[in-house]
Homo-oligomer: A and B are copies of this chain.
Amino acid sequence: MSEHQRSVPRVGMVGGGQLARMTHQAGIALGVDFRVLAGSPGDSAARVCGDVQLGDDRGLADLLAFAKSCDVLTFDHEHVPEPVLREVEAAGAVVRPGRAALQHAQDKLRMRTRATELGLPCPRWRAVSAIEQIEAFGAEADWPLVLKAARGGYDGKGVWVVADPAEAAAVLARADDAGVQLLAEEKVAFRRELAVQVARSPYGQLAVYPVVETVQRDGICHEVIAPAPDLPEDKALRAQELAIDLAHALDVVGLLAVELLETDDGIVINELAMRPHNSGHWTMDGARTSQFEQHLRAVLDLPLGSPRTTAPYTVMANVLGGADPDVYGRYIHVMAKDPEVKVHLYGKEVRPGRKIGHVNVAGDDPADLLARARDAAAYLRGDQG
């Protein structure tokens, strides 16, 4: 290795999904050494990255070995168990974000507890472990209620809307069997969902992106409009301040995505993520610094890049797998129809409903951009094939 290479840090990303794949793209420009710990050579990032370590991206032994080969460890997902993170940190690895911060993205109960302590707006909520507690909370907050698993869940689900005590009791019984702690939340009458991303460096520098509107269906992010159209400036500022406050208070290093619900009165926190996030994919074609570059800059303690937008609006639509796996055959038509659409594919095997890519369209008119992004994503899925 030449002399200058010694001063170039190696970033290790745990997990080989599309977030690692797109972080690799950003790392190429920065000239840093980027390595991925992936479960399989077919993983989205492992297909393109030059430096792939195969192993269990949630297991202690493989994480410890991977951490030894890297200057900084960061994450494509939030599924590394807390005890594993504790051991990795105890072994001296530089983990960004660290375990203490990450637990607030891993555990909804800790997140609600901490956000409430900080005086940040949340839906009414309560930790519940008996049906009497849920009934009492329902009497206050009104039915239907939302029940959430603090961590994980069962049957592949972690959120349930329950209409009455009987439905709540059924969820509670299954959760108890699965050893899952629940919390109850009021079902917020929201106008729309928003999200805001902030990057924070170990040094404490912050860069906050514009507040975006996210459109979710069946718990999956479908579309993002950046910035959120017609959002009053005071609400936007409040959302950005809230993200900044959280990033500082939780000592986040890297990207923090705060999913929000916009109500008639204001905004409340819905969920957190501490990594590049689906709500920030628009930045690849709509901001001076993409969220992936920003995440790398933050975890490397480099000065952060400008989060400035490069177009009045950018719309992102996720591409989900459809019945026909031949996405490549279809995207030719998408490209022909709209030369301004930016297609980002993840190299993943197509399965119905699976996120296999996204499209971005930037321009002046959010309604026009949304129609074009939807059209491209639907065509790629095969809905119009």
Contact = CB atoms under 8 A, between A and B. Distances in A.
A49 to B, nearest CB: 5
Contacts of A30: 343, 345
A303 interface: yes
A7 B30 CA distance: 32
A188 interface: no
Interface string A171-211: 00000000000000000000000000000000000010000
Contacts of A46: 50
A310 B308 CA distance: 13
B50 A328 contact: no
Contacts of A157: none
A138 interface: no
Interface in A287-344: 288-289, 297, 302-306, 308, 310-311, 325-329, 332, 335-336, 339-340, 342-344
A67 interface: no
Given A29-B343, A46-B50, A310-B311, A335 B4 contact: no
Contact of A288 (B31, B288, B336, B340): B340
Contacts of A336: 303
A329 B4 CA distance: 9
A131 B27 CA distance: 54
A17 to B, nearest CB: 13
B329 A7 contact: yes
A296 to B, nearest CB: 11
Given A50-B49, A340-B288, A335 B303 contact: yes
Contacts of A21: 28
A3 interface: yes
A247 interface: no
A4 B349 contact: yes
- How many of chain A's residues touch chain B, expressed as a range? 35 or more
A46 B28 CA distance: 11
Nearest to A345: B31
A320 to B, nearest CB: 14
A7 B29 CA distance: 29
B4 A306 contact: no
A350 B352 CA distance: 48
A29 B306 contact: no
Interface in A20-54: 21-22, 24-25, 27-32, 34, 46-50, 52
A384 interface: no
Contacts of A4: 325-328, 349-350
A311 B343 CA distance: 21
A32 B344 CA distance: 11
User: Which of A47, A207, A308: most chain B CB closer than 10 A?
Assistant: A47
A344 B29 contact: yes
A347 B2 CA distance: 11
Interface in A126-140: none
A12 interface: no
A343 B5 CA distance: 17
Q: Which 5 A-B pairs have the closest CB atoms?
A: A31-B345, A4-B325, A303-B336, A303-B335, A306-B339
Given A46-B50, A303-B336, 7 more contacts: A7-B329, A24-B48, A31-B346, A48-B50, A288-B340, A306-B340, A308-B340
